[in-house]
Amino acid sequence: MAEEPRAGDERPWGRWESLLRAPGYQVKRITVLPGKRLSYQRHARRGEHWYVVEGRALATLDGREVPLDPGSALDIPQGAAHRMANPGKADLVFIEVQRGDYLGEDDITRLEDDYGRAGSSR
């Protein structure tokens, strides 16, 4: 399997970087700035696994809030509504493992967004 080159992007909440991408899976390092949160969203074609490496997180999974400390993990089933927030004063860093038949950034349905992006894939 050929590995694709690294990609990443700045977002209003922080940034993400693709560490590994291969057919059927991708591994990202995601940094969320203090007091910020990602969109409340779902994916039609992939599930995710989050592993917190730095900071404290407050995940939302299908309306249920789940506090996560470093070393904690959470599985996000395909189609589940989810969000990661940083309630702390330091950066939150987590590793996201995506698995599915399509991993494009346009497989996002934003249900809520703090930055006016609801309904968009960016």
Residue at token pair 């991993």? 103
What digits encode the pLDDT tens for the residues 64-109?
999 999 999 999 999 999 999 999 999 999 999 999 999 998 999 9
Domain coordinates in residue numbering, the chain: 8-112
What is the CATH number assigned to the segment(s) 8-112? 2.60.120.10
Cα–chain center distance at 88: 17
Spatial separation of the C-alpha atoms in residues 49 and 31, rounded to whole Å: 15
β-strand partners of 92: 32
What digits encode the pLDDT tens for the residues 44-69?
999 999 999 999 999 999 999 999 99
Whether the Cβ atoms of residue 12 and residue 115 lie closer than 8 Å to each other: yes
What digits encode the pLDDT tens for the residues 13-26?
999 999 999 999 99
Alpha-carbon distances of 83 from 3, 40, 94, 108, rounded to whole Å: 28, 5, 13, 12
Confidence (pLDDT) at 1: 43
